């Protein structure tokens, strides 16, 4: 051991370094696996949330687009719009998807208001249809971005 001070210590230093790095490499590997698991869980949660939002907004869209009169849909409108603020608030973290959902919801309300006042709804329903298509495109774009992040 004293020979290292005057001579070549590379073998000893290499051995000590290898022994010291072993636990560090294991910890780094564990953290990396935990991070990958967390990202996967977050991605799956986003997929589930967006699917749920698409279902709920789709139901509102179908209700507003229906040929039935206001009196026949009145009860359904009341229950559908009762918790609209909580619906959008829960999905606010998805930014542009939530904004597109908000647009569809507002246009559903415009159609409902026009039906209640016995006004023409054809133009409003056309706008609603366009907003719904934009919402679906925004959902697909967000889901695609989640999947491309996975491939990196």
Q: Would you report the helix, strand and coil content of the chain in percent, each value rounded to 5?
A: 90, 0, 10
Contact (Cβ atoms closer than 8 angstroms) between residue 60 and residue 104: yes
pTM above 0.95, yes or no: no
Mean pLDDT of the chain: 78
Tell me the average pLDDT across 80-101.
82
| Complete domains list, the chain, with CATH | 41-151 (1.20.120)
| Cα separation values, 111 from 80, 86, 99, Å | 14, 21, 19
| Cα separation values, 29 from 15, 22, 32, 39, 133, Å | 21, 11, 5, 15, 44
Predicted local confidence at residue 114, as pLDDT = 86
């Amino acid at each position: 051991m004293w020979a290292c001070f005057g001579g070549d210590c590379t073998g000893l230093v290499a051995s000590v370094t290898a022994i010291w790095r072993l636990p560090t490499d294991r910890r780094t590997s564990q953290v990396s696996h935990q991070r990958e698991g967390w990202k996967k869980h977050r991605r799956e949660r986003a997929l589930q949330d967006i699917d749920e939002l698409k279902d709920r907004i789709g139901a509102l869209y179908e209700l507003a687009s229906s040929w039935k009169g206001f009196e026949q849909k009145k009860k359904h409108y009341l229950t559908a719009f009762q918790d609209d603020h909580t619906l959008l608030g829960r999905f606010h973290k998805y930014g542009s998807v939530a904004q597109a959902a908000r647009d569809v919801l507002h246009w559903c309300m415009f159609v409902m208001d026009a039906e209640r006042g016995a006004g023409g709804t054809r133009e409003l329903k056309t706008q609603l249809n366009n907003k719904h298509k934009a919402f679906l495109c925004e959902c697909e774009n967000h889901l695609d971005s989640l999947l491309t992040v996975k491939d990196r």
